[in-house]
Amino acid sequence: MGIYEDLYPVFYPESVAVVGASNQFRKSGFFCMESIIYRGKYKGKIYPINHSAPEVFGLKSYPTLSDVPDKIDLVIITVPAPAVLDVIEECGKCNVKGAVIITAGFKEAEAETGKQLQEDIIKTANHYGIKIIGPNTFGVVNPLADLNASFTSTLSDMEKGDIAFISQSGGMCHFFSYITMDDNIGLSKVMSLGNRCNVEFVDLLKFLEKEDATKVIALYLEGIDNPRGLFEAAKKIVRIKPVVAYKGGSAKGMDHLTCSHTGTLAGNFEMYNGMFRQAGIALAENSTELFDIAKIFSLARTPQSKRIAVCSPIAGPGIVMTDTLIKNGMDITKFTDHTINRLTKLLPPFTFRYNPIDMPFTQDIETISAVIDCVLADEDVDSLGFIMCQQEMFTPLNSGIAHALVGAKNKYNKPVAVAMIAQAYKFHSERLYLQNNSIPVYPTPERTARALTALSEYGEIIHS
């Protein structure tokens, strides 16, 4: 069997048992139960395992895994570290396919016993062919299967989408999930690998490569045990779907920290960066950018090249966007004569008719729509960065502008991204409409520019 078949029951289990399931608030077995039963979303069978309680969360509970009368695909383990090995042994006997070990206190702990315990778990799991996520993980969320095998029930609210997030850190899973949920973007997976027993980044990449529903892979990593394997896997995957990565713990002197986190050295940042770049992985410079790039990969079509146009009703943010694009190596393309002639007819004097277009005096939707069409029609333009603004003169136009952007994007099949200079709660329906129609919206010109750059760089990779 391949890695896809091996991991499939972990992400799409027909039944789940929670070992250490508890009615007691504050226990992780409580939170994991809360997640798995959350609003009845998960449709598979759920078996709480608890030595004494007859029922947990109102479900019949079993003293041990062996007492469960049916087959179990996935086991979520929350019992203390010293008890975990026996549970894995029992998993093997019950023909369990995968286990998520929430429990901490293994390789990452200070004591040597933790390290040995983890080694023993790996041996047993490999003997029985059980795939282990963790230990020391917050868990796994698979919105596509309505599965929340983590200790954070809020993440059950996540929408289904096509971005998979793989992380070395549960905390960063929370960050990524929340920023995504705030933006009405869906995910296809969220998983924290924790200490990694027999499931590594490279295994998950290979799984996600084969999962058609996942279109984009986002990674947060601190250090990896097998950089070469990751490199080879990524190189192959990026031809099929884009990968974006953010590397934590890259400053000097961080190794002792990342090691105490999930038992891995952070490794040489420059080495990783060079390797990622060579593999065609987009590099995020911070956690926000990791999301921004994953989002544009998910929503927008990949352009042919770095030739871009910028269009703004307000000069300053247009200058900032252009500035950032140039610094990031984008090509602020020269419009064709045909385009400039059309623009000259459309725009009033005082208006900058070259790229970037600044059109503060254009306040009718017909002209703005014509300008957008004209720019995207230009054969030397492969993408467009557009500024929208909350301002009493433009506010009434924004709905029409959104409509024009979607229309022209569909007509010319070129990616468009919008920087929305507005209060956060404004233009909710315009934002949704744009994003539902493959035009990502960002709150600053710089973030828009960085996302468009990553998209164009990916375009150059796959079109080369």
Determine if 252 is a binding residue for its own copies (CB under 8 A): yes
**Single residue of 341, 363, 410, 429 touching its own copies by CB under 8 A:** 363
Q: Measured in Å, how far apart are the chain's first and last C-alpha atoms?
A: 34
Determine if 251 is a binding residue for its own copies (CB under 8 A): yes
Quick one: tokens of 80? Answer: 């203390």
Q: What is the rounded CA–CA span in Å between residue 434 and residue 398? A: 11
CB 121 within 8 A of CB 84: yes
DSSP code at position 303: P
Stretch that binds its own copies, among 88-96, 126-134, 242-250, 337-345 (CB under 8 A): 242-250
Quick one: tokens of 246? Answer: 């953010």
In whole angstroms, how close is the CB of 232 to its own copies at the nearest point? 26
In whole angstroms, how close is the CB of 116 to its own copies at the nearest point? 15
Q: What are phi and psi of 93, to 5 degrees?
A: -65, -30
**Single residue of 345, 361, 366, 463 touching its own copies by CB under 8 A:** 361
Determine if 57 is a binding residue for its own copies (CB under 8 A): no
Quick one: tokens of 458? Answer: 């990916």
Q: What is the rounded CA–CA span in Å between residue 23 and residue 4? A: 35
Determine if 319 is a binding residue for its own copies (CB under 8 A): yes
CB 35 within 8 A of CB 155: yes
- Would you say 130 or 190 has its CB closer to its own copies? 190
Determine if 445 is a binding residue for its own copies (CB under 8 A): yes
Show the binding pattern over residues 298-317: x = contacts its own copies (CB under 8 A), - = does not. Answer: --------------x-xxxx
**Single residue of 258, 264, 453, 456 touching its own copies by CB under 8 A:** 258
In whole angstroms, how close is the CB of 459 to its own copies at the nearest point? 21
Stretch that binds its own copies, among 54-62, 108-116, 199-207, 335-343 (CB under 8 A): 108-116
CB 13 within 8 A of CB 73: yes
What stretches of 241-393 show up as alpha helix (H) in DSSP?
Answer: 255-262, 269-279, 287-299, 315-327, 337-346, 365-377
Nearest CA among 242, 246, 287, 172 for reference residue 454: 242
Report the site for its own copies in 136-195 (rule: CB under 8 A): 151-154, 167-172, 174-175, 178-179, 181-182
Report the site for its own copies in 9-48 (rule: CB under 8 A): 26, 28, 31, 34
Determine if 393 is a binding residue for its own copies (CB under 8 A): yes
Q: What is the rounded CA–CA span in Å between residue 23 and residue 142? A: 24
**Single residue of 72, 91, 96, 389 touching its own copies by CB under 8 A:** 389
Determine if 456 is a binding residue for its own copies (CB under 8 A): no
Report the site for its own copies in 273-292 (rule: CB under 8 A): 286-288
Determine if 222 is a binding residue for its own copies (CB under 8 A): yes
Q: What is the DSSP string of 283-294?
A: E-SSHHHHHHHH
- Would you say 65 or 219 has its CB closer to its own copies? 219
